[in-house]
Amino acid sequence: MNETAPDAKAITLRNYIGGEWLEFGGETLESRNPATGELLNLIPLSSADDIDAAVTAARAAFPSWSQTSPIIRARALFALREVLTSQREEIARLVTLDMGKTFDDAFGEVGRGIESVEAACAIPHTLKGQTLEGVARNVDVESFRQPLGVVAAITPFNFPAMIPLWFLPFALACGNTFILKPSEQDPLASRRIVELIDGIDEIPAGVVNLVHGAHDAVNALLDHPEIDAISFVGKASTARYVAQRGVEKGKRVQALGGAKNSLVVMPDADPELTAAGVTSSAFGAAGQRCLAGSVLLLVGTPEEQERSLGVVVDAAKQLRTGDGSDPETDVCPLVNPAARESAEAAVADALAGGAKLILDGRRDGGSGGAELGPTIVDDLDSDHPVTRDEIFGPVLGVVRAPDLDAALEWLNKSRYGNAAMIFTADGGHAREFRNRVQAGMVGVNIGVAAPIAWFPFSGWKDSIDGDLHANGDDAVTFYTRSKVVTSRWR
């Protein structure tokens, strides 16, 4: 279904509903290449009627798909894994074109998405129930997990291939039918993944549906009575809104929100691991990752703190900012010029309050107007928005603490709890940090503490609304409900 080649003239994308790619005649939104500003596509702003059509198709496909053997459903996912692996490079190129990140980063992202498919392939094992024999005379108890019905995923711009693949494989593996509403800012990777699914005979029409759109489409998904569960990833404010409205409408919701992650550097940290770990975390993907470290928490005496800061600043100065399709680029553009302006405004506000710029990444924005180089801000009020709020750009705020206790005290006041990283050569400090830090994903000498897909993506506090995370056993629990049968046979 090639209604457009990515480099062809911009045309309107289509929704994929019930196995058909449907022409769209309604209102659209422009989507541009962040590196060049080039117009790529027109994105349908789907209406409540479009969402209803997708739900009707998904509902019609549910009885048969939910009754399909988990072994056959797993085989369908093996087929998906094969096509994704064969098209990994092409999907990664679409991510770079549409979202801006470097090709290597995009290639890694698609690999992470494939990993979720692989984890979901274990469904005949992970879906197994439990039994307890003889709880009373001739009485046995057994529990099963059954699919929910029609489930929808609403995804953000920053991982346009991986995050749809956090949800789609597990939802299908558990026997649900699925509707994807990708970010309106960069839906090309989702579109390509669904094209590949369209070619897989083992996934019947209606099992996977793709609906483009923005806020109205999200509201229609949240309000539709025939949708049983919503998986969401995006800003904390949107996550809270989605969770509240979805739950009000009787749905099961997992809503993963924003983050503000600290990189704690102890005086004994290995300088090489620290330089590579901190800079890749803070400036990779231009800081547009929910696991990005955006606070550098320097621990030790003032001299030790200066030494650690020097290691990071020297490494950051080596990074090249530019078009993500250029293999020489380390720091890609932000997703659009407005995102760059917003990050720069936060820096300007800090400077107006007396902060000091240790590394100034501000530039003319590049040809797409969205570039900002690595920026490091010191001497901040330790509760300034640069240290407490999500900037989602390549901006690293410096905070100082005399010892690990003080560092943990400051860090644990964060409203977010997605990730926290420590760099140290001391196992005791690492253990203490791991135990006491209030974050669900912890890195020790690792800059981006992303769990593999067999574990849940475990944010805490305002980084999630809901109890069950994406991936791992949580995904199977989220996409099923348990049924407990008590039987007596004489």
Nearer to ligand NAD, 116 or 463 (CB): 463
Please give the backbone phi and psi of residue 217, each rounded to the nearest 5 degrees, phi first.
-65, -40
Q: Output the smallest distance, CB 70 to ligand NAD, in A.
A: 27
In terms of Cα–Cα distance, which of 330, 262, 332 is closest to 293?
262
Element (H, E) at 358: strand 356-359
Nearer to ligand NAD, 243 or 264 (CB): 243
**Buried b or exposed e, range 418-433, using 16+ CB within 10 angstroms:** bbbbbbbeeeebbebb
Nearer to ligand NAD, 84 or 243 (CB): 243
Q: Write out the two tokens for 333.
A: 């553009």
Report 257-316 residues binding ligand NAD (CB under 6 A). 257-259, 290
Report 453-472 residues binding ligand NAD (CB under 6 A). 457, 459, 463
Nearer to ligand NAD, 434 or 461 (CB): 461
121 part of the active site: no
Q: Which of 121, 174, 290, 332 is catalytic?
A: 290
Residue in the shown chain whose Cβ atom is closest to ligand NAD = 234
**Residue 69 to residue 71: CA distance in whole angstroms:** 5
Could you say whether residue 238 binds ligand NAD (CB under 6 A)?
yes
Encoded one letter per residue, x for contact with ligand NAD by CB under 6 A and - for no contact, window 382-411 reads --------x-x-------------------
Q: Output the smallest distance, CB 441 to ligand NAD, in A.
A: 9
Q: Output the smallest distance, CB 74 to ligand NAD, in A.
A: 25
Dump the DSSP string for 239-298: HHHHHHHHHHTT-EEEEE----EEEEE-TT--HHHHHHHHHHHHHGGGG-STT-EEEEEE
Could you say whether residue 215 binds ligand NAD (CB under 6 A)?
yes
**Residue 126 to residue 108: CA distance in whole angstroms:** 26
**Residue 434 to residue 17: CA distance in whole angstroms:** 46
Could you say whether residue 233 binds ligand NAD (CB under 6 A)?
yes
Q: Write out the two tokens for 376.
A: 């490091």
Report 173-202 residues binding ligand NAD (CB under 6 A). 181, 183-184
Could you say whether residue 256 binds ligand NAD (CB under 6 A)?
yes
Q: Output the smallest distance, CB 3 to ligand NAD, in A.
A: 21
**Residue 123 to residue 52: CA distance in whole angstroms:** 29
**Residue 130 to residue 406: CA distance in whole angstroms:** 46
Contact 370/340 with Cβ under 8 angstroms? yes
3 state SS of 451: coil
Binding site for ligand NAD (CB under 6 A): 154-159, 181, 183-184, 214-215, 218, 233-235, 238, 256-259, 290, 390, 392, 418, 457, 459, 463
Active-site residue list: 290
